[in-house]
Amino acid sequence: MGEGNKDKRKKKKRGGAKRRMTAEQTLALKYVNEWVHLAQPQVDDSGKGDDFLPEMVGRATVSDKVVFELHSHSFCSDGFLSPSALVEKAHQNGVKVLALTDHDTLSGIPEALDAARKFDIKIIPGVEISTVFSTRQKFELINREDPESEEPVHILAYYSSYGPARFEEFDKFLENIRDGRYLRAKNMLLKLNMLKMPLKWEHVTRIAGNGVAPGRLHVARALVEAGHVEDLKQAFARYLYDGGPAYSKGREPSAEDAVQMVCKSGGVAVLAHPWALKNPLRIVKRLKEAGLHGIEVYRSDGKLAVFSDMADAYGLVKLGGSDYHGKGGHGESPLGSVSLPVLAAHDFLRLARPIWLDAIRDILKQYVSDPSEQNLEHVTRFGKPIVTKGNNSRKDLVYRSLSTWLTKEEMQHEDLKAIMLRLSDVALK
């Protein structure tokens, strides 16, 4: 009896011991914390130094663990929560960095950013792009009726607080996909009607919400509400799975085109849930050639070794997220439940920040060259303008927005300093 208690105490001690961080992990954590806790710029009325360079306020509160949630959805696509409710949920779950990645739309980002100010959460503007990967090369004849020749692939795109550098072009790219989603949903309803499970179009669009392109989840919810199936799982398992009797395709671009669009608009392109793909190795190889930056490797149930090895083989950053929709129930991973290692977060930011900095410079160059209201909107698109009194209100607005995204060292980049000086001239005029 005594020996048994002794063994239990030993096991408890071993299990409860906190593993010490390596020197590499400690440095990575410092780097991540610095970016996560970037503070608002301080107004320097004395005129000393570079008044446009943001400062860290006491380096903020340094955490020994920073929770990143890099895959989540709101009701702007097929989620159940509003962007602000999603941010509040993230706060409750201890998330410090949240990427809102709705399907084929950035419309929820402004609301998420506004809500994040209340909860000290950093928002990474994102989107999950619906694409198609063809097993054949572009020059080969593609049979769209052959289910083996194509498969759906989702590409996650992550941007800076300024959003895509070529916003109009990128938004048109997404709009075309959304238009295809309407046609796709109508085709799914036609197929369901032929299967003696009638649904009304108004029913599906009501579930989707005003202005939201309906997807499979909305059709599945309509099937449940109409009593045709017991739950969402059954709706997908019987009718709506890829290639299922009620499945239909839309106007999805090729996966390669989507990756290239993300790259040229200043984003980080990441392959979502590769474990759902039929031939992930072939897809990763082709998308890496197109410019793919990363791949989801981490899930709520841990790291998938096969995809971690694949990331190593192709030089991709390793990411992950819960793919949270707010459905509730036992089948959904909680928001913030993916334990992204600090080294993975560090590698992501090391890759992303120079890309984002280039995109920010391009957006600001466009504005200082033509300081119109339209170009100012490119700078403030994802945040409510904070206008101060005086002739330099626009300059202050830009400084404040940059201070939450760029470090002092990044702000000292020669190109950016030149742009900021030109911005001062614009403001004074």
- Asked if residue 363 and residue 245 are part of one domain, the reply reads no
pLDDT by residue (tens digit) across 366-412? 988 888 888 888 888 886 555 544 445 667 777 777 888 898 888 88
Q: Which of 282, 316, 340 is the endpoint of a domain?
A: 340
Would you say residue 5 lies in a domain? Answer: no
Would you say residue 19 lies in a domain? Answer: no
Would you say residue 129 lies in a domain? Answer: yes
Considering only residues 187 and 59, tell me which one the structure prediction assigns the higher pLDDT. 187
Work out the average pLDDT over 261-275.
Answer: 98
pLDDT of residue 59: 36
- Please report, for residues 27, 205, 324, the alpha-carbon distance to residue 218 in angstroms, rounded to integers and kept in the order given: 45, 8, 16
Q: Which helix (H) or strand (E) holds 317?
A: strand 317-320
- Asked if residue 95 and residue 40 are part of one domain, the reply reads no
* C-beta of residue 311 within 8 angstroms of C-beta of residue 294: yes
Q: Which two tokens stand for residue 416?
A: 């950016």
Q: Which residues of 338-368 are buried (b: 16+ CB within 10 A; e: fewer)?
A: bebebbbbbbbbeebbebbbebbbbbbbbbb
Is residue 38's pLDDT more than 60?
A: yes
CATH classification of the domain holding 332: 3.20.20.140
Q: How many domains would you assign to the chain? A: 2
Percent of the chain with pLDDT over 90: 61
pLDDT of residue 419: 86
pLDDT of residue 423: 79
Would you say residue 421 lies in a domain? Answer: yes
Is residue 41's pLDDT more than 90?
A: no
Would you say residue 11 lies in a domain? Answer: no
pTM equals: 0.83
Q: Which of 119, 24, 32 is nearest to 407 (CA)?
A: 32
Q: What is the DSSP letter of 229?
A: S
Of 19-33, 53-67, 76-90, 117-131, which range is least confident?
Answer: 53-67
- Asked if residue 71 and residue 56 are part of one domain, the reply reads no
- Asked if residue 89 and residue 177 are part of one domain, the reply reads yes
Would you say residue 10 lies in a domain? Answer: no
Would you say residue 319 lies in a domain? Answer: yes
Q: Which two tokens stand for residue 13?
A: 């001690």
- Asked if residue 226 and residue 106 are part of one domain, the reply reads yes
Tokens 């961080």 label which residue? Answer: 21
Distance from C-alpha of 252 to C-alpha of 174, rounded to nearest angstrom: 9
| Number of C-beta neighbours around residue 293 at 10 A | 25
Would you say residue 148 lies in a domain? Answer: yes
Is residue 61's pLDDT more than 50?
A: no
State the pairing for strand pair 122-134/95-100.
parallel
Of 41-50, 165-174, 324-333, 372-381, which range is least confident?
Answer: 41-50
Work out the average pLDDT over 19-32.
Answer: 91
**Residue 88 lies in domain:** 67-340
- Asked if residue 408 and residue 359 are part of one domain, the reply reads yes
Distance from C-alpha of 100 to C-alpha of 123, rounded to nearest angstrom: 7
Q: What is the residue type of 49?
A: G
Work out the average pLDDT over 195-211.
Answer: 92
- Asked if residue 366 and residue 281 are part of one domain, the reply reads no
pLDDT by residue (tens digit) across 279-320? 999 999 999 999 999 999 999 998 899 999 999 999 999 999
